[in-house]
């Protein structure tokens, strides 16, 4: 859908094309498919809140279909680009060379996609007419998992420059992200990360037993953001991907319901009878929630051997 050229280009390609998947609410048809390509959206006066989602390494947005569909059914538009050098087809085409170095180009991808979708929503275009009027430009969130979470954190909080010499602060200028969701993320550059002037609500989700990206890295990122409107959901016993793709059903249910409630509060302005912190602590054997500070387990997080295979 979207083309974006950078200099230098991505790791092993000479151009940058961002195929982008857009999920939006459609009319329910009893017995019909959960997803329907090209279906007409349910109209919403003023548009829907938008979540710009960043996938991890060697997967695609479809890996997270259960989570993204949960958000869509709750009344959000979910926009998810396929990163040029981190999607499985690109990795295979490049003979499985480690292309994760392209990560620092991806915050610009996310900013570009955000702007392009907002522009397409504000005026009818031949390229993507279904997006016209679809998005509420004042209600935008960033979310990502693993490498995608790292890209989100760079765009939201990094105070350095990307490989093109553009500051991450300049990339986010004019984009009023109201909420940020970091799923098993980290700080990945030598730059400082700090609270932004807009102070978007922050939810960080990480597992104590994540060996691919150990929880101490999530704690480091969380500690760098000094604001009261931040929450940390500590999963007790889950690996890196299963809480987010649905393979770990118990952890996934907690992640899906908690992230949805967080986004509803942050973007839709909804209020609920159960306070958010208490809601996040309803399943203490699966997850614990903290607001602003951290619990004893996270003040001295476990130092696990790093391993990204399946467990």
pLDDT in tens, 9-60: 555 555 678 889 999 998 876 666 677 777 788 888 899 999 999 999 889 9
Q: State the pLDDT at residue 304.
A: 65
CA 132 to chain CA centroid, Å, is 23
* Structural tokens at position 88: 């499985």
From residue 118, give the alpha-carbon distance in Å to each of 53, 122, 132, 140, 298: 15, 6, 9, 10, 38
Q: What is the pTM of this model?
A: 0.90
The arithmetic mean of pLDDT across residues 200-206, rounded, is 97
pLDDT in tens, 256-292: 999 999 999 999 999 999 999 999 999 999 999 999 8
Kindly report the number of other CB atoms within 10 A of residue 136's CB atom.
Answer: 19
Query: How much is the mean pLDDT over the chain?
Result: 87
pLDDT-derived band at 86, boundaries 50, 70, 90: low
* Burial per residue of 156-168, b for 16 or more beta-carbon CB atoms within 10 angstroms, e otherwise: bbbeebbbeeeeb
From residue 223, give the alpha-carbon distance in Å to each of 105, 204, 231, 252, 303: 25, 11, 11, 25, 17
Alpha-carbon span 71 to 260, nearest angstrom: 6
Q: At what angle do helices 215-224 and 147-157 cross, to 10 degrees?
A: 10
* Structural tokens at position 189: 């550059």
CATH superfamily of 2-299: Alpha/Beta hydrolase fold, catalytic domain (3.40.50.1820)
From residue 282, give the alpha-carbon distance in Å to each of 209, 258, 274: 20, 10, 10
Q: How many CA atoms lie within 13 A of 288 on its CB side?
A: 11
Alpha-carbon span 62 to 34, nearest angstrom: 13
Share of residues in the chain with pLDDT > 90 (%): 64
pLDDT in tens, 121-138: 998 776 778 899 999 999
> Which long-range contacts does 10-16 make (Cβ < 8 Å, 24+ apart)?
10/84, 10/85, 10/99, 10/102, 10/105, 11/85, 11/94, 11/97, 11/99, 11/101, 11/102, 12/85, 12/94, 12/97, 12/99, 13/84, 13/85, 13/90, 16/84, 16/105, 16/109
* Structural tokens at position 130: 């279904």
pLDDT in tens, 88-109: 666 666 655 566 678 888 999 9
Alpha-carbon span 48 to 73, nearest angstrom: 11
pLDDT-derived band at 230, boundaries 50, 70, 90: very high
Strands 135-145, 177-183: pairing is parallel
pLDDT-derived band at 208, boundaries 50, 70, 90: very high
Each domain of the chain, given as residue ranges in start order, spans 2-299
Q: State the pLDDT at residue 143.
A: 98
Q: State the pLDDT at residue 144.
A: 98
Alpha-carbon span 110 to 101, nearest angstrom: 16
The segment with the largest mean pLDDT, out of 119-128, 157-166, 282-291, 294-303, is 282-291
Q: State the pLDDT at residue 49.
A: 97
The radius of gyration computed from the CA coordinates of the chain, to the nearest angstrom, equals 18
């Amino acid at each position: 859908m979207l083309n974006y050229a950078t200099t230098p280009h991505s790791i092993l390609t000479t151009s940058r094309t961002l195929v982008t998947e857009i999920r939006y609410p459609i009319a329910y048809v009893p017995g019909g498919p959960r997803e329907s390509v090209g279906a007409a959206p349910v109209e919403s006066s003023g548009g829907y809140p938008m979540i710009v989602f960043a996938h991890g390494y060697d997967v695609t947005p479809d890996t997270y279909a259960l989570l993204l569909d949960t958000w869509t059914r709750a009344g959000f538009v979910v926009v998810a680009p396929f990163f040029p050098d981190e999607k499985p087809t690109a990795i295979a085409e490049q003979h499985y060379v480690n292309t994760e170095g392209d990560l620092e180009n991806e915050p610009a991808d996310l900013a570009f996609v955000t702007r392009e979708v907002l522009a397409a929503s504000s005026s009818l275009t031949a390229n993507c007419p279904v997006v016209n009027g679809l998005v509420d430009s004042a209600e935008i969130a960033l979310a990502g998992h693993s490498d995608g979470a790292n890209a989100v954190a760079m765009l939201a909080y990094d105070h350095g420059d990307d490989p093109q010499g553009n500051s991450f602060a300049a990339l986010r200028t004019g984009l009023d992200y109201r909420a940020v969701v970091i799923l098993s993320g980290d700080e990945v550059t030598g730059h400082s990360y700090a609270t932004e002037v807009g102070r978007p609500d922050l939810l960080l989700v990480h597992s104590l037993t994540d060996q691919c990206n150990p929880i101490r890295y999530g704690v480091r990122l969380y500690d760098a953001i000094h604001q009261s409107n931040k929450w940390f959901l500590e999963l007790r016993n889950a690996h890196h991907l299963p809480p987010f793709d649905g393979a770990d059903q118990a952890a996934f249910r907690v992640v899906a319901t908690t992230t949805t409630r967080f986004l509803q509060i942050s973007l839709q302005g909804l209020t609920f009878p159960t306070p958010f912190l208490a809601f996040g602590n309803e399943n203490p054997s699966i997850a614990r929630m903290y607001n602003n500070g951290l619990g004893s387990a996270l003040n001295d997080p476990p130092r696990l051997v790093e391993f990204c295979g399946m467990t």
